[in-house]
Amino acid sequence: MRDFLKHTFATVLGLLIFFGISIGAFVLLVVSIGSRETGPEVKDKSVLVFDLSLNITDAARNSSTSQAFQEAIVGEDNDSMTLRTVLDAINEASRDPRIVALYLSGNGEGTSSTGLAALKEVREALQRFRQAGKTIIAYDDNWREREYYLGSVANTVALNPSGEMEFNGLSSESAFYAGALRKFGVGIQVTRVGKYKAAVEPLLLTRRSPENREQTETLLRDVWNELLVAIGKERKLSPQQLQSIADRQGLLLAEEAKKRGLVDRVAYLDEVIEDLKKLAGKDSDEEKSFRQISIRSYADVAESAIKRKQSSDKQIAVIYAEGDIVSGQGGVGEVGGDRLARQLRQLRQDEDVKAVVLRVNSPGGSAIASDVIQREVILTRKKKPVIVSMGSLAASGGYWISTYADRIFAEPNTITGSIGVFGVQPNFQAIANNNGVTWDVVKTGRFADSQTVSRPKTPQELALLQKSVDQIYDQFLTKVSESRKLPKAKVAEIAQGRVWSGQRAKDLGLVDELGGLETAIQEAAKRAKLGDDWKIEEYPRSRSFEERLFEQFTGDQTSSRRVDPLMTQFKNVQSDLAMLRSMNDPRGVYARLPFNLRIE
C-alpha cells in the first residue's frame, strides 16, 4: 500500500507539472501555507458559530498536515464534520471562559442530511452549553423541522420577517420500480422471510404493502412524538398543541410562528447580528461583524485541549460501522465485512486497548459479512468489554453485528430491528429476447446453471434458495435469542423483518438503554474499570492526504450543496441503484433495511 501511495503521489505531482505548476512552486505553496497555520485564535468574548446546514457523520475526521492546503487542493467537503468532533467542540466551549455565546446560523440555502439520532446528541450538548450559563441565539430565513429541532433549545429563536416556519410533520416517500422493470423486460424473483421485510417491495410492487405501511407509520409516529416532546419542553408547548399546529397550519408565516410560540422574535439578520455584537463586541474584521469563531475552527482548539488532558496509554477504541455491509473489503461509504473483522482482531490483540465501542450506523446488507463481523465481536468481548452505540440507523445486518455486545445503547429515534432475510434473483430474458439476444446452455447437472440471469429460476431452484433464506433467518433468530436472553418464540414474534424505533426496541428487549455515543463511551470506561485514566482512539484511521488527492484527480468530486427537487429525486434513484450494486453476498442472501428508508 505504501509503495502504491508513493507511485500515486508521484503521478499526481507529474499531473501538476503537466498543468503548468512547477515542483518548486508547489513546495513553496506547501511551506507558505504551513508557516501561516499557527492554529485558530480564540479572542476573549467570542461567539461560537454553528451552521445549521452542517452535515454530521460518524466517520473519523481526516487528519491534516495543513488543512487549508488540503481544502484548496483536494476540495474537502467543508460542510461536514464528525459527531464526536462537534460534541467535543460544544462541550469544550461550554467550559471555555472566552466563549460567551453560541449562534445557530441558518441561511435557507439547504438542509442538513444529519440523522435525527445524531441531532439528538448535538441537541443535548447544546442544552449543556446553555445550562453552563451561556447564551444561544438561533436564526434562520426559513425554519424547517430538522433545523428547528436544534434551534428550539436557544434562548432566543428568530425568524426573518419574510420567512416561513415549516411544521407539518414527517413523511417517508419511497420509489417503486416494478412497473419500469416489467416495461423493460427485467424479471425479478424473490425469496424472503418476514412479512414486514419490505426491502424487496420496490422491485415487486407499485406501492407499499399493508404490513410495510403499518411499520412505517408506527416508526414515523415514534420519531415525530419524540420530536414533539423535545421541542414542546423547550417552547413551553404541549405535544397536543404542536400537533394541532402541524395539522391545521403546517406552514406558518413569521408573525404566525411568533404568535404560536414557535419563535421569540421576527427580525432581519442585521438585527440579530446587533444582538450578537452586544454579547461579544464588534470584531476588528469588518466581514465578521461580531467577535466569532466557527465550530470547524474551534474544533481544533477543542482537540488540542483534549489531547493535553489525555496522557494515558489506556485506550477506549471507537470503531465505526457506517454504510451498507458488504462482503470483502468494501469501498467508500461501505462496511467491508473482512475489513471491519480484521480491525476488530487488531483491537482485540492490542494490549493498550482496554474496551471497544462499536458505533453502528448501517441499514445492513450481506448476511455472511454481518456474521463475519459478529463473530469477531463475540471473540473480542471474551477479552475486553464491547459496547454498541447505535446511531440514526442500525437495522437488519446492522442489528445482527450489534447483538453480542455487553451493552447496546440506542437513541429513542434510532431506526433498528428489521430482523429478517431476503434474496433477489433478477433475470434479463425478456429484454434480451426482445432485442434478438438468446442463450443456449450445456450442463452436467440439473442445477449447474442455476445462477444465470438469462432466464427465470425454476420452482425447484427457488425452493433451494428459499431453504437457504429460511436457514439464515433461523440463524438470525437464534443469535438474537441467545445474545439478548429472549425466548426464541418471542424473537420470532417481534422479528418478521419489522423496523422499530429505539424506544420500542428498548421496550421489547432488543436494546439495553437509551443514550448516545458519549454515554456508550462512559459505559465502556466503567466496565473496563478505567476511572478517569483513559483516552479515545477512533478506527478505522482516516484516509491519507495522498489518497484523497488521488481521488481529486480521478474525478471523485463532491457535489454542490444546493440541489433542486428534480435533482434530489434523481439522487434518490441513484442511491437505490447503488444499494443494488452493493449486494455482493456470496449466497445472495441479505439482512437489510427496507430499501433506502428516508424520513423527510
* Active site residue ranges: 197, 396
| Number of other residues whose CB lies within 10 A of the CB of residue 259 | 12
13, burial (CB in 10 Å: exposed 0-12, middle 13-18, buried 19+) = middle
Q: Nearest to residue 594, comparing CAs of 506, 492, 500? A: 500
Please tell me the number of Cα atoms within 13 Å of 587 on its side-chain side.
22
Whose cell is 439522487? That residue is 571
Give the length of the chain: 600
Q: Please state, in angstroms and rounded to a whole number, the distance separating the CA atoms of residues 147 and 185.
A: 43
Q: Please state, in angstroms and rounded to a whole number, the distance separating the CA atoms of residues 355 and 317.
A: 6
| Number of other residues whose CB lies within 10 A of the CB of residue 109 | 11
Residue type, 24: G
C-alpha cell at 216: 412505517
CB 225 within 8 A of CB 470: no
For the CA atoms of the chain, what is the radius of gyration? 26
* DSSP secondary structure letters along 32-101: HHHHH-------SSEEEEEETT-EEESSPPPP-SSHHHHHHHH---TTEEEHHHHHHHHHHHHH-TTEEE
Please tell me the number of Cα atoms within 13 Å of 62 on its side-chain side.
20
CB 157 within 8 A of CB 264: yes
| Number of other residues whose CB lies within 10 A of the CB of residue 137 | 23
* DSSP secondary structure letters along 432-453: HHHTT-------SSTTTTTT-S
The vertex-97 CA angle with 93 and 99, nearest 5°, equals 50
